[in-house]
A and B are shown apart, each in its own frame.
Chain A
Amino acid sequence: MLMLLALHLVAAATAPALVRRWGRRACYPLALVPAAALGWAVAYAGVVRDGGAVVETYPWVPGLGLDLALRVSMLSWLLMLLIGGVGALVLVYCARYFDADEPGLGQFVAIFVGFAGAMLGVVVADNLLLLYVFWELTSVFSYLLIGHHPEKLASRRAAAQALLVTTLGGLVMLIGFIMLGQHAGTYRWSEIAARPPPSGTYLGVALVLILIGALAKSAIFPLSFWLPAAMAAPTPVSAYLHAAAMVKAGVYLVALLAPAYAAVGPWRPVVYVVGIVTMLAGGWAALRQVDLKLLLAYGTVGQLGLLILLLGVGTRDAALAGTALLFAHGLYKAALFLVVGIIDRRAGTRDLTVLSGLWRRMPLVCAVGVLATASMAGVPPLLGFAAKEAVFEAFADNPPLLVAVLLRATLTVAYSARFAWGAFADRAGVAPTPTRPVEPTLLVPAALLAVAGLALGVLAGAVGGLLDPYARLFGATGHHLALWSGPGLATGSSALVLALGGLIFALRKRVGAVVTRLRTPVGGDVAYGYATGGLDRIAVEVTGATQRGSLPQYLGIILLALVVVPGGALLFGRPWPDRWILWDTPLQAVVALVLAVAAVLTVLARRRLTAVILVGTTGYGTAMLFVLHGAPDLALTQFLVETVTIVIFVLVLRRLPPRFSVRPMRGSRWARVALGVAVGVVVSGMALAAVGGRRAVPISEGFPEPARSFGYGRNVVNVILVDIRAWDTMGELAVLVVAATGVASLIFQHRRGVGRPRRRDLPTRSPGAERVWLTAGPTLRTRSRSIVLEVVVRLIFHTVVVFSIFLLFSGHNAPGGGFTGGLVAGLALAVRYLAGGRHELDQAAPVDAGAVLGTGLLVAVGTGLAAILLGNPVLRSTVLDLHLPLIGDVHLVTSIFFDIGVYLVVIGLSLDILRSLGAEVDRQIEAEDEPGTGLRTDGAEAGDEPGTGPRTDGAELGSAAERRRR
């Protein structure tokens, strides 16, 4: 059995490829897959006929009580016949039903085969949880199959409706399964059925929950509305899912549980009520349909109601009648759907008020259709007749139920006649419908199903014998399936029903008005509409209330939570320290005052550059505080970063308007200030509480000694960075690489420039007699040049670079390291750029920034991996003592290579920033100002627009930006 399931899975996976290769003909080989299930079932017919079962068990998730327990007894065997047989025939039918160029056919066929596998899984699963898994799989596949035409509204809506109803039912059912399984101590149905747990309210609730799932799946009132809507699916889907297979899953589940639980509390009342309502309402609705497919759909709903009633009632005769009807219905309803599909495709409509004279144009189709309809109506000697007789026989001792099934059968006869008449007869006053020829491939599957109904009808006795093992679960003796049961109740009822049904059909003109007017007052579809519509409204209200789309508002709420929750805790907990100091040194107070004033002024600043310089002041102030705290590495880094930040700001601010726009959010200004102050106060309180509450010995007390013995360095902070917590640094490097790449991609948008920067790409302009200090200096406008700056840069650039390397190498034992070294080198490049323009930057660093970043990351990662090669943990330092000629003894700690990686990444970041926000923006400005004329036009320099330039400071950085600004 597992092999069968696997076969379906493999076939579904390869189906798209097969359809691509062979087109719709791929359906023929794929039809062999469900046929294999049919063949398997036939091969094991002997075992189940004798009342045995085929069992396979494989462990899966033992902790959940979930194993692949597969078990085929009589009931599942019967459904396997339908699933395999009808599945194979419908797939053959698909080969002609769809056009050769049908879009999405490969996907459709794959899902179809997958559905067949899932359906097979439902009926062979012995474990309830496994059954649930397959059950929901069929729901999902049915969703995809119904939605085969996603561009059609009806298709999408029907698919979603079917999915929601069946999966929600399935979830309810899962709760029931779990309740039942926990109660019984096992999820194997065969074990539960062998020793059913004692009944009680708990069990009753579990059973009702399971029934809800089954009823939703089988489209039983009040959840029946999804099935007629699902007729939007292609007809093969309706023939398979909505006649033979999926809707039978609910019936199957009821039939599976009935032998053990039919007598328990709420079971019978539920089954009686929903079964009777559904079968009568469905039959009644079928009478007024003009669409042949919808007629069949409502007929199916009614028939499913009858099946639930028969199989749920829990008596031997009803069970026998139910299984016989289940099988007969699968055969004739699938055949009828296929016939409707043929009419739809070859006559162009399925509206029975338009169709006329098909019996003459499609005699064979007509014959097949009439044969199947006769089985539906219960005309001897077809299987439907034998099943119907058994139904009457089963309820012979229960007059109310007998009346109900008699009514039901009358309606069936009436709508069967309406179907046959509507599809094939001549319509007075309607021209014969033009048709196209019907290929054998379309006709044969339907014909086989119809003829099977005839053949099995003749062999009704044998069929009854085959079904006996299931019926025997309810009682040893009873009625037998037969075509002729002698004069009696059943025969009389059959005749009566046929006569009455025929009468209704004959009087259809008079009955018609009543049929149209009299409808079920309430249906599940109204509730479904209210539920989905209401959910949607709630979603809109909730989303509208919480997701306002305003960033300041979101931040405000988050920060308000910060003020209220931790602030409230501070207020009530009062975790204040018992002692504190005002300052370490009075110098801190001076720095703090400057810093605070700068911070307040930053908030008030209207001009961008003013704000930037003020925030820079707070940054330098912070660096001073670092110095006073005893953190020279931090102070060094902070100073450098502040400087680089100001350079970047200036590079960008030359393009942005000089003033902040004041328009937005003026009104809430005080609210924002209040929130800011509140957050400041709360954070201060948190700082007091956190520092005051610190009693344990800091872990870093133990760092200095290992720093020397393991990290081989004297600068503890640097050893932490490159050794003790090197993983953090590694992560940070990755962040920097991402940030640099982000900057470049925001500005360049495509790639970093046209090509790799090269020294010889320097434009040769104005080869004047002037003395050139920087190679690219002459590429700048004369007014933009500063000879003093050029000379200074020429003199100090290389020294600064050497200094950066010194910082890198000395950092392990003294303040410095890869970060500071890299920042110094980056600043050196920035100065080159500011003095000589973008071409000077290419002269200074004729490399791609991405390459530098990548190399840096590679070196850092390589160092870590090298440690593994040496047999150490990742990133562990080792000392290398080398004797190099000329240089002498070298004492090298491997973590220096890691720091070199850091150094390179920081340089790459600086280079990327300068290339993007500097050079590329320059180029964009030039291209904007002087379209088509190249780089240098001295004449075009009108005076600066007053008030637009960042001229608030005399610093070189600001004036460099001003030079580039127009």
Chain B
Amino acid sequence: MSPDLILVAVVGVLFAAGVTLLLERSLSRVLIGIIMLGNGVNLLLLLGGRSGDAPILGVTPAGGMSDPLPQAMVLTAIVITLGLTAFLLAMAYRSWQLTGHDEVRDDPEDRQIVRRAERDESSVPDDLDVGVRPWAEPTGRTEEADPEQVDPEPGPRRLDREADDA
């Protein structure tokens, strides 16, 4: 089969833009990147099949039809992308509710391990007494609190259900 260069180029552009956005921290940017990547992948799949006229019997003769199989695959992919978009947006909204922004933060436990590795320390093995831990800080300073770990229903934004029923 001979590829259609314009479509190949479009796939490349969509992938480039999508990947650039995917590497961002803002969840909505990541999501936009995923949507673009999705469109790129759909076109890529479609490219694999022959182009032609609508694959409908009685309208198009069998010889002139476009390849229906990639189309069926892409069709389900499009709708799945919709579900994914809705889910990620709900996550972005939830993140905004909890933290006031929608940025993907570094995993605090992983960062803790990284810091420990930088200081050439051991992990926190189960069989050490709390007082014996070399990294236990007698001043009482603790690791900075992680907002993700706080009460999932934030205080100030708590819903006033009674008010609504009244």
Contacts and interface: CB of A to CB of B under 8 A. Distances in A.
A584 B49 CA distance: 13
B55 A630 contact: yes
A160 interface: yes
Contacts, number: 384
Contact of A541 (B42, B90, B117): B117
Interface stretch (A99-107, A213-221, A474-482, A927-935): A927-935
B89 A588 contact: no
Say which size band chain A's interface belongs to: 35 or more
Contacts of A539: 123
A539 B121 CA distance: 11
A599 B94 CA distance: 27
Contacts of A630: 51-55, 65-66
B159 A923 contact: yes
A703 B75 contact: no
A691 B54 contact: no
Contact of A615 (B11, B26, B36): B36
Interface residues of B, number: 113
Given A544-B116, A625-B7, A618 B87 contact: no
Interface in B6-37: 6-26, 28-29, 32, 35-36
Given A544-B118, A599-B13, A611-B32, A698 B50 contact: yes
Interface stretch (A399-407, A813-821, A874-882): A813-821
Contacts of A611: 28-29, 32
Nearest to A679: B19
B2 A577 contact: yes
Interface string B80-120: 11111111011111101000011110111111011011101
A536 B123 contact: yes
Nearest to B68: A716
Contact of B44 (A677, A683, A746): A683
B72 to A, nearest CB: 4
Contacts of B161: 754, 927
Nearest to B126: A156
Contacts of A549: 106-111, 113-114
A602 B122 contact: no
B24 A717 contact: no
A641 B2 contact: no
A725 interface: yes
Contact of A746 (B5, B11, B46, B91): B91
A129 to B, nearest CB: 32
Given A533-B122, A584-B4, A599-B36, A649 B89 contact: yes
B5 A916 contact: no
A540 B122 contact: yes
Nearest to B14: A599
B69 interface: yes
Interface string A655-683: 11100110011000000110111011101
B152 interface: yes
A204 interface: no
B154 to A, nearest CB: 11
A612 interface: yes
Contacts of B91: 746
B65 A661 contact: no
B143 to A, nearest CB: 13
21 contacts: A160-B127, A540-B121, A543-B117, A547-B113, A549-B108, A552-B104, A608-B28, A630-B51, A631-B74, A633-B75, A649-B89, A657-B101, A683-B40, A703-B69, A714-B56, A714-B57, A716-B56, A720-B71, A813-B56, A815-B54, A923-B164
A-B CB proximity, top 8 nearest: A549-B110, A544-B117, A680-B16, A739-B83, A630-B66, A676-B20, A684-B12, A549-B107
